[in-house]
Chain A
């Protein structure tokens, strides 16, 4: 039953949580009013923007923004998070996965603002940073790696208990972002091709032999449906998004140290069913500015535009998925987080200085009236936009 908590009731609930030794999962309101409007179940706009956040270990948390107020809040994580995903059925559940080479994940109930579950990699496994739910919301697929062999793995967890129940190959090394295709059962995986080991942190151990791939895997059987490679072997496929028609936009990072030339490499590409990978081009000066690094990608289905962010180039770039033309770009320092607003009107951009900007998806102009600043927040690499149902 839905009910609106009074401030007293809410404070009492916090005290109970604290008494249970779960103080770390309390929502820490940092930029919002204490009137708890963000917590109001009668709120008709249940849109939230979520991101790993925090600059230092003591601050690492899952942070979120209520864009209507606007306000922000957070739940401490005790690990540096990276990718997030929302349960498509139980829509108040959101997962955050460890940044590589972490081993922890957590589930947040966005309605209560409390962490209601955690999970950990099994022995000989560590996380690669991303995961997604199955279409029925019952399973979680997470990109991980074998410590002993370096093989990429997709672990399968029960979405309710968070227990690992299965595992299959990612058919590559260093799987990073993973998403579900519109058919509801095929997983598309960005195998970055970069071999790392927890003992050596984030150092890439196979620069000479690296081979990145985009793999499609049947989640029902764990079998490989198809795999695709880029011409440039030192381009690492790291992030992706999937359009409603199954077009996949991929963001790349070039391992320049492994190259013996300084030729420009496209950092954005798309893949359409039954076609080969196609790179997206831009004027030389813009491509140079990207510094071999794209950090995130999001597709706006109505306009068929894919946005790509480059924090090392302070740029967001927009390409059309069909004619492959560059439609525009926007300068924003340290931009990385990227999502589509729930009203489908805006690309949402975030930076680690706590800034949030909104670019109209149709005009590609910034709407300065909608800019938000949360100086005490440090939005990490990825942001997702969700709306959740009242239960």
Chain B
């Protein structure tokens, strides 16, 4: 019993199932992070003693993180391109680079958080810090989720390249869409929390 349009495109919509699925998921994620940003705006504009965390946040580290994520985004799309051109080795290289950059992001985040804790700055210290930790924390959870998916795809999941290469390529595309969204969120999180 085969589910139609898992790989082939349905003629009237021009989509395969997983692509529509991932965009719907991303739409829900837009609403999730939208709610976080909305809360941030509401809390920041309504509290007169809002503590400006710009002064205690490490902008150079966060800029490094931004560069890491942007790099991981381009290596992700290049890995998909390599698969489209049937070059498995290049694909592994690029996906590996993506993984490297994302681990780098996590390591930088680890240093950021631990230095805050070392200075006695916790989410409970002020609402601005609470917002910072929660928003970046949820973003980190999404990065970890992405990493888990990549490890599966480059690990046990790579067997599908031999049996169903087109379906595997679609999986990489879908994972890539998720990853670009994670990057997109950071592109807005970075100025909102660290710069504005």
Q: Report whether chain A binds chain B.
A: no
Residues of chain A having any CB pair with chain B under 8 Å = none
Residues of chain B having any CB pair with chain A under 8 Å = none
